[in-house]
Amino acid sequence: MKTYQLKNGSRVSRIAYGCMNLGQLDAVEDRERLIDTALAAGINFYDHADIYGAGYCETVFGELLKRNPAWRDHMLIQSKCGIRFAGDTYGDSAPSRYDFSFEHIMRSVDGILERLQIEQLDILLLHRPDLLMEPDEVARAFDALSSSGKVKDFGVSNFDGRQIELLQRSLDQDLIVNQVEVSLLHAELIAEGARVNTGQGFAPASGTLDYCRLNNISIQAWSPVAGGRLFGPAADAPQHIHDASALVYELADRYATNASAILLAWLLRHPAGIQPVLGTTNPERLRQSTEADGIELSREDWYGLLERAQGRSVP
């Protein structure tokens, strides 16, 4: 599989594997087969979060690493923290919330490392913007994690460019990743640039992809196939969804591949260097999805998919 180079110099597979659903597989052999399939396909990047399965997904991954210690030499492991569930720590009255406090970040990383059974996390992401974020407090946590060797590099998830810039101003470490939702059916971050100065009444563009490109911040795409909604749209789905699905399958035939690979190839075609994070627990679907690495959609096919998925032509 072809690779991207991160800001820290690491080479990462153009497609990552997201472990959010790993705990849904009951048998350790099934989990092992899934990760073996990913490694055999050339995927060296594995994404976690401390809230996936309330930590269980990291736990089962750690058990797999213990059974297969040689895997670690072929993996970059990333996890996220900062989301807290209702009732967490402070009793039933505590709401769902975000927490970038020094204490919570430090405690979260200790838990992540313990569950994964590793000594250092390759990348730590802040999962969603904390509306009460104090950048200097986050910087203190990052300094402690970096100097202790617990975390090698840092990034964010679901941040826009201005939020990244605000945080980066206080940090000694470069933010190297921003993981956001991007897919053919959730393409606002890509399509917003076409609506600048059109008078169509849309909110001002966030410029998040451009900001990340300007600052060499890797874009990761969660939910890159939009939950499979284009594989077989519901009968009552809007007509443009059915039209987009039909074109996906038409292109799959033309490029001699499958629908999942076409949707991922649409993301890979973008010059921002988007890294889709796959979440399937089906080894064959995973293998088929990696065919996207060998596909380069034409400009006409790329725009054709965007037009169908939006239900309108570009301005």
Domain ranges, residue 252: 3-310
What residues contact residue 45 under an 8 Å CB cut-off, 6+ apart? 12, 13, 16, 17, 75, 76, 78, 275
Residue 315 included in any domain: no
> Predicted confidence band at 202 (pLDDT cuts at 50, 70, 90)?
very low
Tell me whether residue 116 is exposed, middle or buried, using C-beta atoms within 10 angstroms of its C-beta: 0 to 12, 13 to 18, 19 or more. buried
Residue 239 included in any domain: yes
**Total domain count for the chain?**
1
pLDDT digits (tens, 9 = 90+) for 277-296: 999 999 999 999 999 999 99
Q: Does the structure show a pLDDT above 70 at 203?
A: no
More confident of the two residues 205 and 240: 240
> Predicted confidence band at 200 (pLDDT cuts at 50, 70, 90)?
low
Stretch 241-254: mean pLDDT:
97
What residues contact residue 192 under an 8 Å CB cut-off, 6+ apart? 202, 205, 206, 207
pLDDT at 198: 62
Q: In which residue are the tokens 């569930």 written? A: 85
Q: Does the structure show a pLDDT above 90 at 90?
A: no
Residue 289 included in any domain: yes
Residue 268 included in any domain: yes
- Rounded Cα distance between 53 and 66, Å, is 20
Catalytic residue among 17, 52, 211, 255: 52
pLDDT digits (tens, 9 = 90+) for 111-132: 999 999 999 999 999 999 999 9
> Predicted confidence band at 192 (pLDDT cuts at 50, 70, 90)?
confident
Residue 52 included in any domain: yes
> Predicted confidence band at 88 (pLDDT cuts at 50, 70, 90)?
confident
What pTM does this model have? 0.94
- Rounded Cα distance between 2 and 15, Å, is 9
Return the CATH number at 70. 3.20.20.100
What percentage of residues in the chain have a pLDDT greater than 70?
96
Residue 39 included in any domain: yes
State yes or no: is 4 an active-site residue. Answer: no
